């Protein structure tokens, strides 16, 4: 166990360096993980490199920008992943990975190796190093990196000269969107988005998509939007507008200040006021606005008629999973010709990434929208996904509202709900958030070169939101006369709109944020259920750093609750960053509605279990644990005549309860 973890780690050390040709690096890796697990220096010379890999590997040259949203890139990446997932021993996997480091484009290498680790059965339980330590220049803006290096070299910290450098550098007080740079640029959030896409590749793994992959694509992104809007309301911005008119200038620009590892390319800055243009950057696979509009109209056709047309002309019903498959063009899409072989979603990323140099005239790298490790930094990401989400919304509002039977849980009554932060001095029903300094070592042996030994730490201090850990305390009465397995579904949403007016449920329901979903057995009579926020079904606990991973124990520790363990059937890297679980709120205390619903797990359960991370990421190689539509019960229209506010809705059912809470940023 220990040796595998360290071997996996070695694949990510000094990723820009050759291992096979470069003995000092190999010696160094051997010193970490033991000689037995490291191929001997020069081993690739014994095997003709090119011949051992399937064709189509090594096509994208080194130094070029990798984008999973481009078909040719995604195809090459999928080939590498399929090859690595299939190779039959761990030793072979490791040797091949070291050889591939020589051959592959750096972005594909990183993506494919980490995706393979996630999907191989013999690496189940191994953790990946944090991406922002592996490839820091894609996670931290240049000025921040520069400062970190200065401090190492000059041996003094920011504080020593009395200056307080800005924590975020990609905007200014003239850019309203910059108010949420701290959120969009959070390295854990960006890594989550990357890991989600590598857990659910649109090209599939060995060509196969996973259980409810299309629906999960919808839901994970919909929840990002709900959370984004909560943060926008908190800082006084309007909810995000869809990017649906593709012919007008885009008023918001974005300047990422990121490069690849060695600055071979710079992510394009997108000036304010640019207009979308046909993207001919790949002359054999252009992204044309008229094609995007064509596919949009075919998707609307499917949504409006409720039927997809398959290649053979037969019609099949539209459901949320099929619609997700069509929009992302995953391997289960009903019809590539009509709904797009690359997908309106992926092409939207691609065309927006290329907006500053649409025919590659200036050989300019694309913007962050082309890269899943950085796309969410750009405000246009959320405008684009709001457009995508609106397509899903158009489908969902055509569905019949949930019935009494769908919603009720007979003989179960929620008596009370309370939230309480760990510090008992704080009042009940108030969650506490704050901005914290987090120190990250970005060296990753960046200086490693033929004459040198691994380097000192290079520390970046980032500001991240965090919250006081808290508990949900729910009082429930089971009057059925027998124990019941019950699913608890906990959501929150902002209570007030942009103008301070109470949201009606009709508008508010798209803003509900899933906070937790768990199963417990209700004994007969009343139960007092206490649930710790650290168990949330959406979160991924703090990642172990490279240094911590190096020290990691020899076996999977049972019961350790610190993120240092990973069950073999989990996407251990995927999940909403724990530190971002609670929206930041406001200094004055931002009112939210907390909504609790209890349902009958005997009806809802697939065969698999809820756990940390499963709400947005599912269970590895198994079914999504909850058979209900994702986002239930807020995903469908709710009769506004019956239920004006969420409290009215909860009052209508004994198994629901609403609690007004505040989120205070201290």
- Which residues are marked as active site? 328
Q: Rounded to an integer, what distance in angstroms lies between the CA atom of residue 200 and that of residue 217?
A: 8
x/- track of binding to a copy of itself for residues 259-278 (CB under 8 A): xx-xxxxx-xx-xx-x----
Unique residue bearing structure tokens 């949420």: 180
Interaction between residue 294 and a copy of itself (CB under 8 A): no
Run of H or E residues at 494: strand 484-494
Interaction between residue 362 and a copy of itself (CB under 8 A): yes
Minimum CB–partner distance for residue 5 and a copy of itself (Å) = 22
Task: Using the minimum distance from each CB to a copy of itself, give the nearer residue, 89 or 163.
Answer: 163
Q: 3-state DSSP: the chain helix, strand, coil percent, rounded to 5?
A: 35, 15, 45
Interaction between residue 535 and a copy of itself (CB under 8 A): no
Task: Using the minimum distance from each CB to a copy of itself, give the nearer residue, 83 or 178.
Answer: 178
Interaction between residue 184 and a copy of itself (CB under 8 A): no
Unique residue bearing structure tokens 């055509």: 398
Minimum CB–partner distance for residue 317 and a copy of itself (Å) = 44
Interaction between residue 457 and a copy of itself (CB under 8 A): yes
Interaction between residue 361 and a copy of itself (CB under 8 A): yes
Q: Is the peptide bond before 633 cis (omega within 30 degrees of 0)?
A: yes
593 and 658 in contact (C-beta within 8 Å)? yes
x/- track of binding to a copy of itself for residues 139-168 (CB under 8 A): ---xx-xxx-xx-xxxx-------x-----
Interaction between residue 449 and a copy of itself (CB under 8 A): yes
Task: Using the minimum distance from each CB to a copy of itself, give the nearer residue, 366 or 585.
Answer: 366
Minimum CB–partner distance for residue 184 and a copy of itself (Å) = 13
Task: Using the minimum distance from each CB to a copy of itself, give the nearer residue, 383 or 644.
Answer: 383
Run of H or E residues at 508: helix 505-508
Task: Using the minimum distance from each CB to a copy of itself, give the nearer residue, 170 or 444.
Answer: 170
Taking CB under 8 A as the criterion, the residue among 157, 245, 456, 603 binding a copy of itself is 456
Interaction between residue 60 and a copy of itself (CB under 8 A): no
Minimum CB–partner distance for residue 612 and a copy of itself (Å) = 34
Q: Rounded to an integer, what distance in angstroms lies between the CA atom of residue 419 and that of residue 566?
A: 28
Interaction between residue 91 and a copy of itself (CB under 8 A): no
Strands lying side by side in the sheet with 430-441:
459-467, 430-441, 656-665, 590-600, 484-494, 513-522
**Between the CA of residue 495 and those of 319, 640, 642, what are the distances in Å?**
31, 16, 19
Unique residue bearing structure tokens 């071979």: 264
Q: How many residues bind a copy of itself (CB under 8 A)?
A: 64
Interaction between residue 170 and a copy of itself (CB under 8 A): yes
Minimum CB–partner distance for residue 383 and a copy of itself (Å) = 16
Q: Three-class SS string for 360-406?
A: CCCCCCCCHHHCCCCHHHCHHHHHHHHHHHHHHHHHHCCCCCCCHHH
Taking CB under 8 A as the criterion, the residue among 6, 7, 114, 169 binding a copy of itself is 169
Q: Rounded to an integer, what distance in angstroms lies between the CA atom of residue 309 and that of residue 333?
A: 11
Tokens found for residue 474: 């729910």
Task: Using the minimum distance from each CB to a copy of itself, give the nearer residue, 452 or 561.
Answer: 452
Stretch of 409-417, 431-439, 443-451, 556-564 lying at the interface with a copy of itself (CB under 8 A): 443-451
Write down how long the chain is. 666
Minimum CB–partner distance for residue 404 and a copy of itself (Å) = 52
Minimum CB–partner distance for residue 555 and a copy of itself (Å) = 28
**Between the CA of residue 449 and those of 135, 262, 354, what are the distances in Å?**
17, 14, 34
Taking CB under 8 A as the criterion, the residue among 2, 359, 436, 639 binding a copy of itself is 359
**Between the CA of residue 626 and those of 518, 537, 559, 607, 615, what are the distances in Å?**
10, 12, 24, 9, 9
Q: Rounded to an integer, what distance in angstroms lies between the CA atom of residue 497 and that of residue 159?
A: 40
Taking CB under 8 A as the criterion, the residue among 52, 59, 62, 242 binding a copy of itself is 62
Stretch of 126-134, 251-259, 342-350, 405-413 lying at the interface with a copy of itself (CB under 8 A): 251-259
Interaction between residue 99 and a copy of itself (CB under 8 A): no
For residues 424-444, b (16+ Cβ closer than 10 Å) or e, as one string? eebeebbbbbeeeebebbbbb
Interacting residues toward a copy of itself by CB under 8 A:
16-18, 21-22, 61-63, 102, 137, 142-143, 145-147, 149-150, 152-155, 163, 169-172, 174-175, 178, 253-255, 257, 259-260, 262-266, 268-269, 271-272, 274, 355-357, 359-364, 447, 449-457
């Amino acid at each position: 166990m220990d040796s595998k973890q360290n071997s996996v780690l070695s694949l990510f050390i000094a990723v820009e360096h050759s291992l096979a040709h470069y003995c000092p690096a190999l010696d160094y890796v051997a010193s970490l993980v033991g000689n037995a697990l490291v191929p001997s220096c020069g081993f690739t010379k014994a095997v003709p490199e090119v011949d051992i890999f399937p064709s189509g590997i090594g096509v994208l040259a080194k130094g070029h920008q990798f984008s999973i949203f481009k078909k040719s890139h995604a195809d090459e990446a999928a080939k590498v992943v399929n090859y690595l997932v299939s190779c039959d021993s761990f030793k072979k996997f490791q040797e091949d990975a070291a050889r591939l480091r020589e051959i592959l484009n750096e972005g594909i290498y990183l993506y494919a190796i980490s995706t393979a680790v996630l999907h191989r059965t013999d690496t189940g339980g191994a953790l990946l190093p944090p991406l922002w330590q592996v490839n820091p220049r894609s996670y931290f803006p240049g000025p921040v990196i520069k400062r970190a290096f200065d401090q190492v070299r000059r041996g003094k910290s920011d504080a020593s000269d009395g200056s307080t450098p800005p924590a975020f550098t990609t905007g200014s007080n003239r850019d309203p969107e910059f108010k949420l740079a701290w959120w969009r640029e959070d390295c854990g959030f960006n890594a989550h988005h990357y890991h989600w896409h590598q857990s659910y590749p649109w090209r599939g793994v060995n060509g196969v998509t996973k259980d409810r992959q299309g629906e999960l694509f919808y839901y994970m992104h919909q929840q990002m939007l709900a959370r984004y809007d909560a943060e926008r309301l908190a800082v006084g911005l309007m909810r995000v507008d869809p990017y649906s008119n593709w012919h007008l200038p885009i008023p918001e620009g974005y300047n990422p200040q990121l490069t690849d590892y060695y600055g071979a390319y710079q992510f394009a800055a997108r000036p304010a006021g640019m207009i979308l243009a046909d993207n001919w950057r790949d002359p054999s696979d252009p992204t044309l606005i008229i094609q995007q509009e064509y596919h949009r109209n075919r998707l609307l056709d499917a949504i409006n008629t409720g039927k997809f047309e398959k290649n053979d002309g037969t019609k099949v019903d539209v459901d949320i999973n099929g619609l997700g498959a069509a929009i992302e063009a995953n391997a289960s899409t009903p019809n590539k010709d009509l709904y797009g072989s690359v997908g309106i979603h992926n092409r939207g990323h691609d065309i927006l990434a290329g907006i500053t140099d649409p025919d590659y005239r200036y050989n300019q790298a694309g913007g962050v929208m082309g890269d899943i490790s950085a796309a969410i930094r750009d405000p246009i990401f959320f405008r684009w996904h709001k457009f995508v989400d609106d397509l899903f919304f158009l489908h969902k509002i055509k569905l019949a509202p949930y019935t009494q039977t769908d919603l009720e849980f007979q003989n179960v009554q929620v008596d009370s709900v309370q939230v309480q932060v760990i510090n008992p001095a704080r009042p009940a029903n108030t969650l506490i958030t704050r901005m914290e300094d987090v120190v990250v070592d970005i060296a990753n042996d960046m200086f490693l070169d033929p004459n040198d030994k691994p380097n000192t730490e290079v520390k970046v201090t980032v500001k991240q939101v965090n919250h006081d850990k808290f508990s949900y305390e729910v009082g429930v009465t089971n009057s059925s006369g027998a124990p019941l397995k019950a699913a608890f579904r906990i959501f929150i949403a902002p209570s007030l709109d942009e103008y301070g007016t109470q949201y009606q449920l009709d508008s508010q329901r798209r803003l509900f944020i899933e906070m937790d979903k768990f199963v417990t057995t209700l004994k007969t009579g009343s139960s007092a259920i206490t649930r710790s926020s650290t168990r949330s079904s959406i979160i991924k606990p703090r990642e172990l750093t490279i240094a911590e991973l190096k020290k990691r124990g020899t076996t999977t520790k049972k019961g350790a609750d610190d993120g240092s363990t990973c069950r073999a059937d989990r996407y251990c890297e995927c999940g909403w960053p724990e530190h971002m679980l609670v929206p930041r709120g406001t200094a004055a205390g931002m009112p939210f509605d907390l909504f609790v619903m209890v349902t009958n797990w005997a009806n809802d359960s697939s065969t698999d279990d809820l756990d940390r991370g499963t709400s947005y990421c599912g269970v590895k190689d198994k079914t999504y644990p909850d058979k209900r539509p994702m986002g239930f019960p807020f995903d469908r229209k709710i009769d506004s005549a019956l239920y004006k506010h969420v409290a009215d809705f909860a009052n209508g059912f004994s198994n629901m309860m609403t609690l007004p809470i505040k989120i205070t940023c201290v």
